[in-house]
Structure formats: structure tokens, C-alpha cells
Amino acid sequence: MSSVSKPGPASGSSALELAMRSAIAVSEGVRGLTSPNPPVGCMIVDARGKPVGFGGTSPPGQAHAEVVALRMAGTAARGGTAFVTLEPCAHHGRTPPCADALLEAGIAQVYYAVDDPFPAAAGGAQRLRDAGVTVHSGLLAEEVRTGPLRAWLHYARTGRPHVTWKFASTVDGRISAEDGTSRWISSPESRAEVHALRLKVDAVIVGTGTVLADDPQLTTRPPANEPAMRQPLRVVVGERDIPVGARVLDDAAETVHLRTRDPHQVLATLAERGVVDVLLEGGSRLAGAFWESGLIDRALVYMAPMLLGAGTPVLDGIGVGTIGDALPLAFESATMIGPDVRISAVPARD
């Protein structure tokens, strides 16, 4: 299991942004542990501006971020300010409203990044204002929307899991050589980052073809001398049988075999299980099926500095016959990871 470490300061920002970035860091620290609830982060500062408490959303049925932070702050929260990545909730679910907890603690000001999109939970900001608390919204909203709450906000808006298509390729867009070999295209640094990414998602999806060709385990492996980590749900999609001895069937994590080729059905089934954040790691055909269905929300590419000239392409079967029909993307970032380049891009949809 991941743990929430005490957030540290960053340079070059206002005091308000520093506090919210601390809340964002806490939010990122609990991502992967809270679904179907959002991985919210909260920072409490006292009346003099000194940090006195922080907390992230606990697993479902347990305390929300604001309550965790208020418990740490204790009486020092009175007259202070709360910085929260998501609007404090106003409804009674499995836990009492966070807006009420902030009022009872005597919080004088609240800054939050994004509004709660769920009608049943929204309204916390107004409840606080009605009680005399000064409330500000929108602080570092874009960093939260594209960061730790990206998948949950998508899930809240669409009712289906957010899908990140992750793959490693050569510069000329090949994911394996002509003879089928693919280990290792990406660098050790990139592979380590992918293991860390798996820790943050709820499920990892591959096709039966990937299982038969590569026999992946699809787990996140902790560094040496560190305890075992939480594992994502392993999802295998396709009608073919999985060999009894396949590593994806071991007891390291739960595995679900969905005997279908319909990406919509796959995501509907996962949504019923409370899956919010999905990492698609299948081959070119499975990725093509998800693209054709309009179900890929982000592409995460680890591009290695090598050329193959032939071999398996990144994508197959999306029906693009002319440049005018190409699928447009919008680049979010490009970052060096060891010798590789990591590119994050999203569909440029209207």
C-alpha cells in the first residue's frame, strides 16, 4: 500500500498556491486507493498561516480528506484555512458531510480547486458560505483536473472509467520487431515508471493475444527491501482461453477474463465494479478497437531512441485511409525518461 508523506514546499509560487500544491501532492499520494471515491487532498493552515494538518481520502467507507486533515490539526484549525482539491461534500453518504466537519472545526476560509460534479454531493461551498465561511474556488484548478482527479472527474461526467493507453514504441512507431520480439524496447527507467503508474490505477487491460505472446504478469513490483504493494485488477479481454500456467493467473493479484471483443461492454463491466482509472496495455488490435469505439481518453507513449523499419505497428484496424481522416491529438507534455521520451497526448475532440 502507498502511504501519504508529509508534503513539502515548492518554490516560485504564492503562499496560496504553495498550500494548494501541498494538497495536490497529498491527493496524488492516495490515488489508486480510494475508488470509486475521488482521491482528494486537503491542507489545513492555522490563523497565522502555519501548516497544521494534511490528509487524503481514505479507502471507501472511511474518512474523507478534510476529516483526516482536521484530526491532525486539532484545535489549531479554529480560525484557519482549508485548501482542498475538490469542493467539500455536503451530503450524508457512508460518511458525514465534510462541509459540516469544517464548520464544526471553526475553519474561517476554504480554498478549493474544482467543483464537485455529482449533484448529490455538491453544495458544500454554498453551505459553508451560508454559515459565514469565506470560500474561494478555482485555485490551481487545471493542475487538479489534469492531475490526480483527472480520471475521477471523467468518471463522474461520463459514468465510465477513464482509459489511458500506454505503450512503448520505437521512433518509427513499432512495438515489436519483425520476428515478434519486443523486450525491451523501453529503458529500465521507463519500465520503473510504468510499475509506479500501475500502482495508481484501478485496473490494467490486455488482450488474450498479449497474454499468449508475452505471458505478462501485469503487477507492480516494489523496489528491493520494500513491502508488497497494492495491485491493480488484471483484466484480460478476448474469447480465446488463457493457458492454465499463464502468469496473469497467478495469486499475485485478482484477474478477470472478459470473453468479449466489445470495448463498451468491457468498460461497463468494470464500472459496475467501481473501477475509475484504467491502464490499457494491450497490443495494436485491442488499442485499435478502443480507438474505433472512441474510448481512449489519453495516450501515454514511451518512445525509445531506436529504429526497426519493420514489425508490429502501434495501432491496427482504425480504418484511416487518407490523411484527412487521421485521428487528431493534442500534446500535453513531452519529458525525458532516461534515454526515452514520454509523451502525453489526448484526443483533440470537439
* Structural domains of the chain, count: 2
291 is in an annotated binding site: no
Q: Please indicate, yes or no, whether residues 187 and 42 belong to a single structural domain of this protein.
A: no
Which of the four pLDDT bands, split at 50, 70 and 90, describes residue 222?
low
Query: Is 4 inside a domain boundary?
Result: no
Query: Which has more pLDDT, 331 or 311?
Result: 331
Which of the four pLDDT bands, split at 50, 70 and 90, describes residue 11?
very low
22 is in an annotated binding site: no
Q: What is the mean pLDDT of residues 149-170?
A: 95
Q: Please indicate, yes or no, whether residues 48 and 195 belong to a single structural domain of this protein.
A: no
Q: Please indicate, yes or no, whether residues 254 and 147 belong to a single structural domain of this protein.
A: no
Query: Is 182 inside a domain boundary?
Result: yes
Q: What is the mean pLDDT of residues 7-19?
A: 67
Q: Please indicate, yes or no, whether residues 181 and 104 belong to a single structural domain of this protein.
A: no
pLDDT score, position 1:
35
Look at residue 9 and tell me whether its pLDDT is greater than 80: no
In angstroms, rounded to a whole number, what is the distance separating the alpha carbons of residues 22 and 1?
Answer: 21
182 is in an annotated binding site: yes
- Catalytic residue at 66? yes
Residue where one domain finishes, among candidates 152, 173, 191: 152
pTM of the model: 0.89
**What are 105-154's pLDDT values in tens digits?**
999 999 999 999 987 667 899 999 999 999 999 999 999 999 999 999 99
Look at residue 49 and tell me whether its pLDDT is greater than 70: yes
Q: Please indicate, yes or no, whether residues 26 and 119 belong to a single structural domain of this protein.
A: yes
Of 28, 66, 87, 193, which one is the catalytic site residue?
66
Give one DSSP letter per residue of 140-182, joined into a string: THHHHHTTTTHHHHHHHHHSS-EEEEEEEEETTSEEE-TTS--
Q: Are 38 and 46 in contact (CB under 8 A)?
A: no
Q: Please indicate, yes or no, whether residues 28 and 122 belong to a single structural domain of this protein.
A: yes
Q: What is the mean pLDDT of residues 292-297?
A: 94
**What are 251-264's pLDDT values in tens digits?**
989 999 999 989 99
25 is in an annotated binding site: no
CATH of the domain at 140: 3.40.140.10
**What are 54-110's pLDDT values in tens digits?**
999 999 889 999 999 999 999 999 999 999 999 999 877 777 899 999 999 999 999
pLDDT score, position 4:
45
pLDDT score, position 121:
67
184 is in an annotated binding site: yes
Average pLDDT value over all residues in the chain: 90
Look at residue 282 and tell me whether its pLDDT is greater than 80: no
Q: Across 199-311, where does the E strand assignment appear?
A: 203-207, 233-237, 255-258, 277-280, 298-304
Q: Please indicate, yes or no, whether residues 78 and 115 belong to a single structural domain of this protein.
A: yes
Cα-only R_g, the chain: 22
User: Which residues lie below 8 Å from residue 295, measured CB to CB, with a gap of 6+?
Assistant: 160, 163, 263, 264, 267
Query: Which has more pLDDT, 181 or 277?
Result: 277
What percent of the chain clears pLDDT 90, i.e. is strictly above it?
70
Q: What is the mean pLDDT of residues 207-225?
A: 82
198 is in an annotated binding site: yes
195 is in an annotated binding site: no
pLDDT score, position 283:
83
Q: Please indicate, yes or no, whether residues 197 and 303 belong to a single structural domain of this protein.
A: yes
HSE-CB of 305 using CA atoms within 13 angstroms: 6
Q: Are 84 and 42 in contact (CB under 8 A)?
A: yes
Q: Please indicate, yes or no, whether residues 215 and 102 belong to a single structural domain of this protein.
A: no
Whole domain around residue 313: which residue ranges? 160-347
Q: Please indicate, yes or no, whether residues 30 and 86 belong to a single structural domain of this protein.
A: yes
pLDDT score, position 20:
97
Local structure of 28: helix, strand or coil = helix
Which of the four pLDDT bands, split at 50, 70 and 90, describes residue 225?
low
- Please tell me the total number of residues recorded for the chain in this structure: 350
Look at residue 184 and tell me whether its pLDDT is greater than 60: yes
pLDDT score, position 185:
87
DSSP assignment, residue 184? T
Residue where one domain finishes, among candidates 108, 123, 152: 152
Q: Please indicate, yes or no, whether residues 250 and 297 belong to a single structural domain of this protein.
A: yes
Q: What is the mean pLDDT of residues 221-230?
A: 64
